[in-house]
Structure 1
Amino acid sequence: MLNDLENFYLNQPEPNKSCLLALREVILALDENIADAWKYRMPFFYYKNKMFCYLWIDKQTKEPYIGIAKGSEFTHPLLEQGGRSRIKILRIQPDQDLPINDIQVILREAMTFY
């Protein structure tokens, strides 16, 4: 039987499904101290047991993004603050190659705040 976390990924339409599963692998491969969990009804990632980032789908564009918990602590041209107080997001185009280098650079920078 699948849990809520697995169901989230598997119930997404393509190309979001493949994109989100690839993002999950990229995030988990960054560091052995990163673990994923189901929290706030979304896939969340913890770094050293603290909230690190999450994956979600933008309601308007229907495209995925990575929400970075300590995003307000640093700047990067690809991060968007929007109306959020401490989280910044990195939008992902699901029908294009993942910007793996940018994702890794941004998430490694976020790790320095833990």
Structure 2
Amino acid sequence: MNPIQEYFFRIDEPERSTLLFLRKKILESDTENITETLSFGLPFFKFKKKMLCYFYYSKKHKKHYISFYHGDRLDYPELLSEGRKKFKILLIDIDEDLPLEFILRIINEIKQYIRT
């Protein structure tokens, strides 16, 4: 198992399946330019080798989240900054439908801010 697979293997169900589904959709949204790496022990997604977003777990909220780089430039009430300067997070509620279209729209918006 590679380190990225190990990260997901340590997550319990149903969170694991939800994050793996989201991971797949993010990678499929731009197969030429979005890549995945493991940085700081977390799965990071990069757009043309520049930071885009990553997954993590909030102990405060007791939920997994996706954190968006350049989130400081986004104005959506669903995104939380919680003192972060460049990132905003979207909490993933396993008991609700995954806002996939919203997440992919944010990713496309962030791509516009990344200088390549």
TM-score by length of structure 2 reads: 0.91
Using the alignment, how far apart are the partners of 1:16 and 1:4 within structure 2?
Answer: 18
Structure 1 runs of 4+ aligned residues shifted over 4 Å read none
RMSD over equivalenced CA pairs, Å: 1.1
Per-residue Cα deviation, 1:25-69 (whole angstroms, up to 9, x for no partner)? 121122120011100110100101101100111113331111011
Q: Which runs of 5+ in 2 are unaligned?
A: none
Q: Determine the structure 1 residue equivalent to 2:36.
A: 36
Using the alignment, how far apart are the partners of 1:68 and 1:38 within structure 2?
Answer: 16
Q: Determine the structure 1 residue equivalent to 2:2.
A: 3
Q: Given residue 109 of structure 1, which amino acid in structure 2 is its aligned partner?
A: E
Using the alignment, how far apart are the partners of 2:88 and 2:2 within structure 1?
Answer: 28
Using the alignment, how far apart are the partners of 1:68 and 1:110 within structure 2?
Answer: 8
Using the alignment, how far apart are the partners of 2:95 and 2:18 within structure 1?
Answer: 8
* Identity across the alignment (%): 36
Q: Determine the structure 2 residue equivalent to 1:89.
A: 89
1:100 is displaced (CA, Å) by: 1.0
Q: Which runs of 5+ in 1 are unaligned?
A: none
